[in-house]
Amino acid sequence: MLAYPTVRTSLIFLAIAIGGLLVADIAITTANPWQDLGQFFLGVATPNFFSTEGLATALLRTVAFAFVGVTLGSVFGFLLSLAYRWLPVRLFCAFIRAIHELFWALIFLQFFGFHPLTGVLAIAIPYAGIFAKVYSEIFEEADPEPGRLLPPGTNRAVAFLYAKVPDCWVQLRTYTAYRLECGLRSSAILGFVGLPTLGFYLESSFSMGMYSDAGAMLILFYVLIATMPLWVRPKLLPVFILAAPFFLGEGMPIVWGNVERFFTEDIVPAPLREGEGLAGLLPWLGDVMANEALPGIWNTVVLTQIALVATGILSLLAFPLISRHFGGPVRRTSGHVLLVIARSTPEYILAYILLQLWGPSMLPAVVALALHNGGIIGHLIGRQSSTIHLRPDAPRGFVRYSWELVPRLYRPFLAFLFYRWEIIMRETAILGILGIYTLGFYVDSSIQELRFDRAMLLILITALLNIGVDTLGRYIRRRLALQTLPTC
Amino acid sequence: MPEIRFDGLTASFAGKQVVGPLSLHIRDGEHVALVGKSGAGKSTLIRLMYQHAEQQASLIPQDLGLVNALPVFHNVFMGQLHEHSLWYNTWTLLRPFKTDRKAIAALLGQLGMEEKQWTPAASLSGGQRQRVAIGRALYRQAPLLLADEPISALDGLLAHQVMEHLVEQFPTSVVALHDVDMALKYCDRIVGIKDGLVALDAPAAELTPADIMTLY
């Protein structure tokens, strides 16, 4: 077994995660965690859809922000994808997508305030970076032959429209639709920093202990995502896109003085602002690094590695739930429902709920990340397992699982897992806003203390860390010759 | 017509020499058949000629190069994209003009597939796909045809009709063919390729099928 590089890599990651568990802060600190959890489930079981009219508005705003943000992101992402071969464009895209939506929201909040533009840009900017990358990959994979056969002198735009776009169209559409679903999740969690989407109402219901209201919100959110194929229709799309900007709400007017001050004063490192010059900059940098950046990086990396392995274990356990090689239709349907719930709940919301119930430690974050990402990967490899044809006399039960299926699915499984590595790290950093000591915690506290210079530096460090992990993940995937699809 | 004259041409693929050194001159008005075993270097030679002609030729590659998502009409229309403006081409993508529709319908009629004009290329059979690529080459109206096994998926009568049409429409042509009888019937010069070299070069009138079989 050890001769397989995939097995060796897995064991190394497992060892790192176990080492992480030894140093990580894993504990349940609330007095009655299971009672609280029980009350929460009772709330979900007895949802109250009519307590406030705020719920309908929140739902509408969530959809509106998602549509405007994803539309802008896909348009700019498309334009960027045309120039993606140019290195500065690639670096720019890698940078803007390495910063999480919530960090972008936190930045824009400081100078646009609670204006709709804050939420729209927070989604549109990172999404443009992601769209640019994936669109350009789709274009690159298209057959180059039709383009080569065009008569010389054909306009380049025309050549692109005829020889590239039609064959990529289905993939572009599928990916954009998938991103719209992600956009709904992003839009929902923007509420946690104060924008008028679902997260805002979820947080307020929770803090008042109104679990039935929170349950109603979660159920509506699942219904919204599960019914997307029904209401996101090609013919209705133009209507949604044109109407969405009118449903973002009024928010607060932008004070342009704030915008100017933010860029010319707030984000300038304190020693420079106060005229201490470069001599003061080094101690300042050292202070931020030693007290905020390094502890933040350490906790982010430890948590990411534990969550990555937990995600992997959970996906391997979960995929038989929907695989056609096990159980009957009843079990598969319930398996599908479980996995849909796990992957449609944003990890941020899961982590928020678990933190409320179990108290602050890394445990809720690990469980939330593993549930969400495990739901996604479990779904993907479960679906893939159903395309495998076993011989009629293949063994059953656990032997079928361990001898027939896992060996065949292990490579795609690792490919998905390493693809999501960077996504898990981005989320881990952001979960700090909830009070776990990852980078997001230090960013959030710097902002609370109005030290935007530190916050910006820490966001920059987070972005670089994400880019680093993304590069490492791609290197490992290449070394192990693992293929991935962009939609994951 | 762009002149094709190779003197001591060589081509390598992955460090291995696949063509040449080879000298070949295609004269205006000739219909040349390239014959030889598969893997002899015919396809590479056709590609090199296309590059040499600076794309001033109608090319039918072996893998056809169709845009699968587009209907037959647009695949054929792509032969003349350079003749029209940006807005004309973009509009045609959404809603073709009547004159083009008529011209392409007539051309497809000659190839026996007029009724397939609006079928996406992805849902055509192998022989139909080959005729779409032929239609595109005809619509291009270049003075030189470079074709790599253009009739391999067509059956008897149709293959003859199409070959006849091609040599009639193009003043000059270089066609790679594995069917020796077809080569002798429709081309006036036979160039045999073996291991990337010219092993035979003679007027078709002076050759019998047996002469060509020595290449295989």
Q: What is the DSSP string of A306-351?
A: HHHHHHHHHHHHHGGGT-TTSS-HHHHHHHHHHHHHHHHS-HHHHH
Q: How is residue A270 annotated by DSSP? A: H
CATH 3.40.50.300 matches B1-57+143-216 = yes
Considering only CB atoms, A155 lies closest to which of B55, B61, B86, namely B86
Cα A19 from Cα A256, distance rounded (Å)? 50
**Distance from chain centroid for Cα B11:** 21
Q: Which of B63, B81, B90 sits opposite A151 (nearest CB)?
A: B81
CB contact under 8 Å between A148 and B65, yes or no, is yes
Q: Which residues of B touch A167 (CB under 8 A)?
A: 67-69
DSSP tally for chain B: helices H, then strands E: 8, 8
Quote the CA–CA distance of A205 and A188 in Å, as a whole number. Answer: 15
- Closest residue, chain B, to A160 (C-alpha): B90
Q: What is the pLDDT along chain A (488 residues), one digit of tens a residue?
A: 778 889 999 999 999 999 999 988 887 777 777 887 888 888 888 888 887 677 888 999 999 999 999 999 999 999 999 999 999 999 999 999 999 999 999 999 988 989 999 999 999 999 999 999 999 989 988 888 898 888 888 888 999 999 999 999 988 998 999 899 999 999 999 999 989 999 998 888 888 888 888 888 888 898 888 888 899 888 888 999 999 998 888 878 888 888 888 888 888 888 888 877 788 888 889 998 999 999 999 999 999 999 999 999 999 999 999 888 887 788 888 888 889 889 888 889 899 988 888 888 899 999 999 999 999 999 999 988 988 888 888 888 888 998 989 999 999 999 999 989 999 999 999 999 998 899 999 999 999 888 899 999 999 999 999 999 989 988 998 888 887 655 44
By CB atoms closer than 10 A (0-12, 13-18, 19+), residue B45 is buried
The answer to whether A146 contacts B54, with C-beta atoms less than 8 Å apart, is no
Tokens of A89: 């464009």
CA distance to partner chain B, nearest, from residue A172 (Å): 13
How far apart CA A144 and CA A160 sit, in angstroms, is 11
Contact A167 B69 (CB under 8 A): yes
ipTM of the complex: 0.82
> Chain A contact for B78, CB < 8 A?
yes
Using CB atoms, which residue from B55, B64, B90 is nearest to A152? B55
b/e string for A279-303 if b means 16 or more Cβ within 10 A?
ebeeebeeebbeebbebbbebbbbb
Pairwise CB contact (< 8 Å): A149 & B89: no
Longest Cα–Cα distance of chain A, Å, equals 79
Q: In chain A, what residues touch B89 (CB-CB under 8 Å)?
A: 155, 158, 161-162
Q: Which of A149, A160, A173 should one mutate to test binding to chain B, selecting the residue with the greatest count of B CBs within 10 A?
A: A149
How close, in Å, is residue B207 to chain A by CA atoms? 34
Q: Which residue of B has its CA nearest to A146?
A: B65
Residue extents of the structural domains in chain B? 1-57+143-216, 68-141
Q: Do A158 and B90 touch (CB under 8 A)?
A: yes
Q: Which residues contact B12 (CB under 8 A, 6 or more apart)?
A: B18
pTM of the predicted model over 0.95: no
| DSSP secondary structure letter of residue B129 | H
From A51, A376, A81, select the one nearest A209 (Cα to Cα). Answer: A51
B106 touches chain A (CB under 8 A): no
Is the preceding peptide bond at A392 cis, omega within 30 degrees of 0?
no
DSSP A456-485: HHHHHHHHHHHHHHHHHHHHHHHHTT----
**Domains, in order of start, for chain A:** 1-30+276-488 (1.10.3720.10), 53-266 (1.10.3720.10)
- Partner-chain contact A158 B61, CB within 8 Å: no
Q: Among A190, A225, A56, A177, which Cα is nearest to A120's?
A: A190
**Contact flag B82-A149 (C-beta cutoff 8 Å):** no
